[in-house]
Chains A and B, each alone.
Chain A
Amino acid sequence: MKSNAIVFVLLLGAAGLLLTAGAGPCWAQIDINIHTVTGPMESHIGNVTGYSQQGRAYYRRYCIGCHGPNGDGDGENAMWFDTTMGFAKPRDFTAAVFKCRSTPTGTLPTDQDLFDAMTRGFVTTNMPQWRPLTEDKRADLVAFIKSFSTKWETQKAGTPINIPPETPINIESILRGRELFQKLECWKCHGPEGHGDGPAASTLTDDKGNPIRPYNFSIGSRFKCGETNHDLYRIFMTGLDGSPMPSFADLIKPNDAWDLVHFLRTLQPLETPEAALWKPYFAAHGKEIKPIGPEAPGGGN
């Protein structure tokens, strides 16, 4: 009798063990294999240091669905991003080419640039803001993203471009900026009114050959790479690498770039100080101002 009870308990225990053991392989099956190409990476965001070994788990949790197990932007959701509808494909981290940088075109962004891009997300795309993640986690993710390309081992991040203090906002500055918009042919893509409908707009493609739209200033306040005057300054000076937007850093003098910022602000449907100056000015002098486009000086004809 007693030995029967012992056998029963043993059998029960064995069954229990088998059941829990059976649960093990289930976890292994959803443990997607991530393919990185470098050793451990670090990121430095202010006083915070990020570690790629930590970021790996967060990447699997939050990023892998779009950016994929190889970091090449080919996650299982990527096929649903319709570029013809203006939705950019997820970033391919293996190319180490990034849109939002404080550094010159052709250089790697700083850790802070990647951190800021992840934090603010990319407006008009499927990339959300990641503010809900702690700064530590975001720093870890920045470190982990760098482990998809050996360029992070062989190259240093570029030196951020120098941005002088903002010049005063006045009509003269806006008018000078408007001249730059005409002369540098920004309108060829962004359109004479900044609606993103210039003559070259419909044929633009990114590096992967996917259709891409020039920014339409009339739709809102945020840009892909920020929303402040400083962000706007940085965007056209450094260019958005991997996209058709080139760098103008060699062409516009540092102070003059503020003029272009001030003009671009008037193209947005916002109550900005620039718009407050421009609207009454344009109402009074609109007829004297030459419309932007191919007929104006610098239009190519």
Chain B
Amino acid sequence: MRFRLALMLALILLPGTAMLLLAVPPSSGMITGKVTYTGTPPKMKVIDMAKEPGCAKEHATDPVHFESVVTGPADALEWVVVYVSAGDKGSPAPAQTVRYDQKGCQYLPHVAVMQPNQPLEIFNSDGWAHNIHPMPKVNSEWNKSQPPGTPPIMAKWEKPEFIPVKCNIHPWMHGYFIVINTSHYSVTGKDGDFSLKGLPPGKYTVTAWQEQYTSQSQEVTIAGSETKTVNFVFKVLPY
């Protein structure tokens, strides 16, 4: 008798809990914050594009600076990749294509983030040739020429890695492909702000990467659908 009761209870309770679990709304935990610097940042030099007259002409009135340390108002640090480096269970690579452009002898964007095996499309919007030369160590290095008017170069990276990209013809062109195993990432803009959305409850390590300085990490625990704030401060040197 008692066994039957237990069985009945189990039959009701088990699917019940299962349905409850399934009915949980999409994860809405969030980590937001700001990346700033202390100290004196190095002065970014103006890029002399005289060797590519077309590019020099394009930037004649508004010269382009190097982008290895870019700052914004209120000590904000730009081009910092903030991402969940541990605690994320991972997700399949999105089918959405990451676009990387070469325009006016610059990489747009300077830093592009993608997941392993996510499609990457590289465009040349200039009227002259570039060579796209990503220099990974873990993934396979390649180097392809892309004259004007040729179709975009399709690529993808198999393994997580921070890959510097350069153009040998225009040695000032420097960019990064950031290949990480998470969809929770953010690249800071002029304001240094970032937000990592859609996090289920759990314990996370959040890492901030800047190309010139040592990466920093912080532990953050998200309960329910709360929003937590963490900030990163990079010590910068003027040289």
Q: Which residues of A contact B (CB under 8 A)?
A: 95, 97, 105-107, 151, 155, 183-185, 188-189, 199-200, 203-205, 207, 239, 241-248, 250-251, 294, 298-301
A300 in contact with B54 (CB, 8 Å): yes
Bound: A97/B150 CA distance, A: 26
A37 to chain B, nearest CB (A): 14
B145 touches which of A203, A241, A246, A298 (Cβ 8 Å) = A246
B150 touches which of A241, A251, A298 (Cβ 8 Å) = A251
- Contact residues of B: prevailing secondary structure: loop
B141 in contact with A242 (CB, 8 Å): yes
23 pairs, A vs B, C-beta closer than 8 Å? A97-B141, A105-B144, A107-B140, A151-B140, A155-B140, A183-B147, A184-B129, A185-B128, A189-B168, A199-B51, A200-B171, A203-B51, A205-B171, A239-B143, A246-B132, A246-B143, A247-B145, A250-B150, A251-B150, A298-B147, A300-B52, A300-B54, A301-B53
**Closest partner residue, chain A, to B138 (CB atom):** A151
B131 in contact with A244 (CB, 8 Å): yes
Closest 6 CB pairs of A and B: A106-B142, A244-B168, A300-B128, A246-B131, A185-B129, A246-B145
- Chain B residues whose C-beta falls within 8 Å of the C-beta of A185 in the assembled complex: 128-129, 147, 169
A207 in contact with B135 (CB, 8 Å): yes
B129 touches which of A188, A204, A205, A241 (Cβ 8 Å) = A188
B169 in contact with A95 (CB, 8 Å): no
**Closest partner residue, chain B, to A249 (CB atom):** B144
B54 in contact with A189 (CB, 8 Å): no
**Closest partner residue, chain A, to B171 (CB atom):** A203
A204 in contact with B168 (CB, 8 Å): yes
Bound: A248/B143 CA distance, A: 9
- Contact residues of A: prevailing secondary structure: loop
Bound: A193/B142 CA distance, A: 27
- Chain B residues whose C-beta falls within 8 Å of the C-beta of A188 in the assembled complex: 129, 169
Bound: A183/B128 CA distance, A: 9
A200 in contact with B169 (CB, 8 Å): yes
- Chain A residues whose C-beta falls within 8 Å of the C-beta of B170 in the assembled complex: 200
Q: Does B224 contact A (CB under 8 A)?
A: no
A113 to chain B, nearest CB (A): 15
* Chain B residues with a Cβ closer than 8 Å to the other chain, count: 26
Bound: A87/B137 CA distance, A: 24
A254 to chain B, nearest CB (A): 16
B54 in contact with A184 (CB, 8 Å): no
B133 touches which of A155, A183, A189, A246 (Cβ 8 Å) = A246
Q: Does B42 contact A (CB under 8 A)?
A: no
Of B51, B143, B144, the most chain A CB neighbours within 10 A belong to: B143
**Closest partner residue, chain B, to A189 (CB atom):** B169
Q: Does B127 contact A (CB under 8 A)?
A: yes
A239 touches which of B54, B129, B144, B153 (Cβ 8 Å) = B144
B129 in contact with A105 (CB, 8 Å): no
**Closest partner residue, chain A, to B150 (CB atom):** A251
Bound: A199/B52 CA distance, A: 9
Bound: A126/B141 CA distance, A: 25
Of B129, B132, B146, the most chain A CB neighbours within 10 A belong to: B129
B130 to chain A, nearest CB (A): 9
B133 in contact with A244 (CB, 8 Å): yes
B148 to chain A, nearest CB (A): 8
Bound: A236/B26 CA distance, A: 52
Bound: A105/B144 CA distance, A: 8
- Chain A residues whose C-beta falls within 8 Å of the C-beta of B147 in the assembled complex: 183-185, 251, 298
Bound: A242/B135 CA distance, A: 8
**Closest partner residue, chain B, to A214 (CB atom):** B168
Q: Mark B144-177, 1 if CB is under 8 A from A, else 0.
A: 1111001001000000000000001111000000
Bound: A60/B202 CA distance, A: 53
B169 in contact with A106 (CB, 8 Å): no
A99 to chain B, nearest CB (A): 11
Bound: A251/B153 CA distance, A: 11
Bound: A150/B112 CA distance, A: 28
A294 in contact with B53 (CB, 8 Å): yes
A248 in contact with B53 (CB, 8 Å): no
Of A205, A242, A250, A300, the most chain B CB neighbours within 10 A belong to: A300
B124 to chain A, nearest CB (A): 11
**Closest partner residue, chain A, to B132 (CB atom):** A246
A200 in contact with B144 (CB, 8 Å): no
Bound: A151/B141 CA distance, A: 12
B128 in contact with A241 (CB, 8 Å): no
**Closest partner residue, chain A, to B142 (CB atom):** A106
**Closest partner residue, chain B, to A248 (CB atom):** B145
**Closest partner residue, chain A, to B155 (CB atom):** A106
- Chain B residues whose C-beta falls within 8 Å of the C-beta of A244 in the assembled complex: 131, 133, 143, 168-169
Bound: A284/B142 CA distance, A: 43
Q: Mark B34-72, 1 if CB is under 8 A from A, else 0.
A: 000000000000000001111000000000000000000
Bound: A183/B129 CA distance, A: 9
Bound: A204/B171 CA distance, A: 7
